[in-house]
């Protein structure tokens, strides 16, 4: 099975930046990392999980939630089986556990999805 490991979280001051990474493994020769859409979600205490961004492998198209648009950038390095989430101008409302997600197709048309264990981001004011 596909396995995802998110890391790069930690404590950051408001206004600062950080980059999260999602390392993926467990692919087959028939279905490689490049066949998966990768997305980032977050869940703040007492709130539902929120989709932040995703990248479509078929055309490289990206999507961002309105709540973070302009402050985050998603990118992928297919050679390293890794997806990144660059976060800028963070604020305390960004405090959450951040998860990466892989779907074996496009972000909206897929058969299976996998989740990483999450990495905690805490923004101090």
pLDDT tens readout for residues 25-74 = 999 888 898 899 999 999 999 999 999 999 987 778 999 999 999 999 99
CB-based contacts of 116, cutoff 8 Å, min separation 6: 3, 4, 5, 6, 22, 99, 100, 101
d(Cα 98, Cα 28) in Å, to the nearest integer? 26
Q: Which residues contact 105 (CB under 8 A, 6 or more apart)?
A: 35, 36, 37, 111
Quickly count: other Cβ atoms within 10 Å of residue 90's Cβ: 22
User: Which pLDDT score, from 0 to 100, does residue 60 have?
Assistant: 83
Instruction: For residue 6, give every residue at least 6 positions away whose Cβ sits within 8 Å of its Cβ, in sequence order, or none.
Output: 20, 21, 22, 98, 99, 100, 116, 117, 118, 119
């Amino acid at each position: 099975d596909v396995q995802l490991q998110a890391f790069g979280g930690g404590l950051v001051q408001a206004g600062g930046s950080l980059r999260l990474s999602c390392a993926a493994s467990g692919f087959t020769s028939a279905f490689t990392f490049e066949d998966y859409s990768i997305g980032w979600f977050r869940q703040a205490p007492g709130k539902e999980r929120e989709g932040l961004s995703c990248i479509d492998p078929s055309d490289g198209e990206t999507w961002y939630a309105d709540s973070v648009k302009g402050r985050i950038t998603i990118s992928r390095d297919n050679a390293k089986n890794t997806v990144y989430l660059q976060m800028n101008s963070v604020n305390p409302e960004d405090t959450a556990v951040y998860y990466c997600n892989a779907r074996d197709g496009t972000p909206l048309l897929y058969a299976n999805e996998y989740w990483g264990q999450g990495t905690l981001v805490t923004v101090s004011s």
